[in-house]
Chains A and B, each alone.
Chain A
Amino acid sequence: MHCARPQDGSRQWRNEEGVHIDLRGLEPPEPMVTVLQMIDGGDESVLIAYFDREPIFLYPELEDRGWTHEFVPSCGDPDCGDEVKLRLVRWIR
């Protein structure tokens, strides 16, 4: 499972897994705010998000919005570093 951004450098892309959003390099709390804006403002049911750090304060917010999260194993690519990759799934519509 590859975690690199598209060639054009955009932070958001879509493939067969769902919508991907790369939040690495952003300072807290921007990653959390970006994810919540996508959840609150979109129709997506699955998001794959890449973080520099474990977003511990995001989890209760996800739970309150009816979303759950699971860790996705790293791709093994050295570019991935010690990133945290989460698969976020809406369980309450």
Chain B
Amino acid sequence: MTLAATFLAGAKSRLLPASIPFRFFAAAAAFHILLWGALVAEADQLARFTGGLGPMLAVVHLLTLGVLTTTAMGASVQLLPVATRRAMVAVWPIKLVFWLTVPGMAALIAGMYAAQTAVLIAAAAVTAAGLVLFAALLADNLRRAGSLPVVAAYGWAALGALVLLVGLGLALALDYEIGALPDHNAAALAHMILGGFGFMGLLALGFSHVLVPMFALAAAPAKRPAFAGFALASTALALGSIGALADSRRLLTIAALIGLAAIALHLWLMQRVLTSGMRKRLGLSFVLIRAAWLVLPVTLLVGLAALHGWAGPGGPTLFGLLLIGGWLLTFLLGVLQRILPFLASMHAAGTTSGAPRLMSELAASWPIKIHAACHLIALVALASAIVVDVQWLARLGSMVGLVGALAFAWFTVSVTRPLTGA
């Protein structure tokens, strides 16, 4: 092996084998199809769903665990080592995370769908083990990272939220069997806040400080306001979680108001990045990302209205839809649409000699156009169905969402197909 080849191997060692991140993305694409398919079948239960075992809880977790968490794991294990300059400790623990979480999630969701508590509890334990292992791997990487303090701060807070979220999730699963929790609904709301605003929300906000400037070709936001935004977001999360557990409307209201301030600051920083960026035409992915940014403050406003009984009977359901579907899923799919071809072009370069292949060669554009249109139409239809309590509209919206999910899966396959053997 020549000196150059040795060096190249060392430099590329922080990029995991393509099969590692893309297995998470492929699983997320499959869960995405299942999510919309299940919603088509169970659309009549959507408009007034506020919790409880059964098909709608399974649908919610197809989205939160199946799509959001699985994608977050794939993206984190790929991007964080590159950003922090610290390779993951080994590849096999990441494979173990996949084989614990993905089958575990599938069984957990099946247990929820069929209201089989024994299956639910066993699968929750396996999934929790995988998520805790993932948290440990990320903590190890963050611990060794010397740069990116803003992203690291968000990462640590997200990992803390993940641990609490997993603990509460296990407690909620066990509670169906032994009834140990003093207030199941309060714990469920805290679980939702820790998942939606905590683990996933903080990861989304944190990675935005690197990804959005990278997409727009701009400098990262200034450190001081970025840390102020982090402080506001993590304070809002802590107060919201405590407020939910204590069933305190006052604490939840304060948390939502602080959260709105955090969002305002974050969106202002992101807007400044876009304004100063070298790339002005940001493409279809930013249609989704901008839509998600629009939904983010609306989510908290609807949450506040629902908390005070001003949002009608569908208020809590609308809040949930906006949080996990409108904000998180839309943002995540926008980012994925952008980074999948990037990552694929890098991995494809490893299978051939010379420069990476053009991104345009790796991804057909029509599936992502279909997906983006269907995704946004489906969300508007579902939100409308919840507000006016119309079942056929929910089913129609779900069908449109299913078409979008199939298009996104096609996109994922078209991106990853050239990597076979990578």
Residues of A at under 8 Å CB distance from B? 27-30, 32-33, 36-37, 40, 52-54, 56-57, 59-64, 68-69, 71-74, 82, 84
A32 to B, closest residue via Cβ: B214
Q: Are B220 and A54 in contact (CB under 8 A)?
A: no
A33–B278 Cα distance when bound, in Å, is: 8
Cross-chain contact of A28 among B7, B83, B358 (Cβ < 8 A): B83
Q: Are B345 and A54 in contact (CB under 8 A)?
A: no
Given contacts A33-B217, A53-B83, A74-B7, contact A60 B278 (CB under 8 A): no
Chain B neighbourhood of A32, CB < 8 A: 214, 217
Q: Are A28 and B214 in contact (CB under 8 A)?
A: yes
Tell me, rounded to whole Å, the shortest Cβ–Cβ distance linking A39 to chain B. Answer: 11
Tell me, rounded to whole Å, the shortest Cβ–Cβ distance linking B182 to chain A. Answer: 46
Q: Are B11 and A56 in contact (CB under 8 A)?
A: no
**B349 within 8 Å of A (CB atoms):** yes
- A selection of 22 A-B contacts at a CB cut-off of 8 Å is A27-B148, A28-B220, A29-B220, A30-B219, A30-B220, A32-B214, A33-B217, A33-B278, A37-B278, A52-B85, A53-B82, A53-B83, A56-B15, A56-B342, A56-B343, A56-B346, A59-B349, A60-B342, A60-B356, A60-B359, A64-B359, A71-B11
A36 to B, closest residue via Cβ: B217
By Cβ-Cβ distance, the 8 closest A-B pairs, closest first, are A29-B214, A59-B356, A73-B3, A53-B85, A68-B355, A56-B346, A60-B345, A73-B4
Chain A neighbourhood of B356, CB < 8 A: 59-60, 63
Those of B355-395 within 8 Å (CB) of chain A: 355-359
Given contacts A27-B147, A53-B85, A54-B12, contact A63 B358 (CB under 8 A): yes
Tell me, rounded to whole Å, the shortest Cβ–Cβ distance linking A14 to chain B. Answer: 24
Q: Are B345 and A59 in contact (CB under 8 A)?
A: yes
- Could you give, for residues 158-200 of chain B, a 1 whenever the CB lies within 8 Å of some chain A CB and a 0 otherwise? 0000000000000000000000000000000000000000000
Q: Are B349 and A82 in contact (CB under 8 A)?
A: no
Chain B neighbourhood of A36, CB < 8 A: 217, 278
A33 to B, closest residue via Cβ: B217
A37–B218 Cα distance when bound, in Å, is: 10
**B10 within 8 Å of A (CB atoms):** yes
Chain A neighbourhood of B4, CB < 8 A: 71-73
Chain B neighbourhood of A64, CB < 8 A: 358-359
Chain B neighbourhood of A72, CB < 8 A: 4
Cross-chain contact of A29 among B85, B210, B355 (Cβ < 8 A): B210
Binding site secondary structure of chain A: mixed
Q: Are B82 and A56 in contact (CB under 8 A)?
A: yes
A76–B309 Cα distance when bound, in Å, is: 68
- Could you give, for residues 1-21 of chain B, a 1 whenever the CB lies within 8 Å of some chain A CB and a 0 otherwise? 001100110111011000000
Q: Are A54 and B14 in contact (CB under 8 A)?
A: yes
**B354 within 8 Å of A (CB atoms):** yes
Tell me, rounded to whole Å, the shortest Cβ–Cβ distance linking A23 to chain B. Answer: 13
Residues of B at under 8 Å CB distance from A? 3-4, 7-8, 10-12, 14-15, 82-83, 85, 147-148, 210, 213-214, 217-220, 278, 341-343, 345-346, 349, 354-359
A72–B216 Cα distance when bound, in Å, is: 28
Chain B neighbourhood of A74, CB < 8 A: 7
A72–B147 Cα distance when bound, in Å, is: 24
Tell me, rounded to whole Å, the shortest Cβ–Cβ distance linking A67 to chain B. Answer: 9
Tell me, rounded to whole Å, the shortest Cβ–Cβ distance linking A35 to chain B. Answer: 10
A31–B210 Cα distance when bound, in Å, is: 12
Cross-chain contact of A57 among B218, B342, B357 (Cβ < 8 A): B342
B276 to A, closest residue via Cβ: A33
A34 to B, closest residue via Cβ: B219
Q: Are B278 and A73 in contact (CB under 8 A)?
A: no
A27–B83 Cα distance when bound, in Å, is: 9
Cross-chain contact of B355 among A28, A33, A57, A63 (Cβ < 8 A): A63
Chain A neighbourhood of B357, CB < 8 A: 63
A68–B356 Cα distance when bound, in Å, is: 9
Chain B neighbourhood of A30, CB < 8 A: 219-220
Given contacts A28-B83, A29-B214, A30-B219, contact A59 B355 (CB under 8 A): yes
Q: Are B220 and A27 in contact (CB under 8 A)?
A: yes
Q: Are A29 and B217 in contact (CB under 8 A)?
A: yes
A10–B8 Cα distance when bound, in Å, is: 27
Q: Are B355 and A73 in contact (CB under 8 A)?
A: no
A33–B217 Cα distance when bound, in Å, is: 6
Chain A neighbourhood of B7, CB < 8 A: 71, 73-74
Q: Are A57 and B214 in contact (CB under 8 A)?
A: yes
Chain A neighbourhood of B15, CB < 8 A: 54, 56
Chain A neighbourhood of B355, CB < 8 A: 59, 62-63, 68-69
B358 to A, closest residue via Cβ: A63
Chain B neighbourhood of A37, CB < 8 A: 278
Chain B neighbourhood of A82, CB < 8 A: 10, 85
Q: Are A53 and B14 in contact (CB under 8 A)?
A: yes
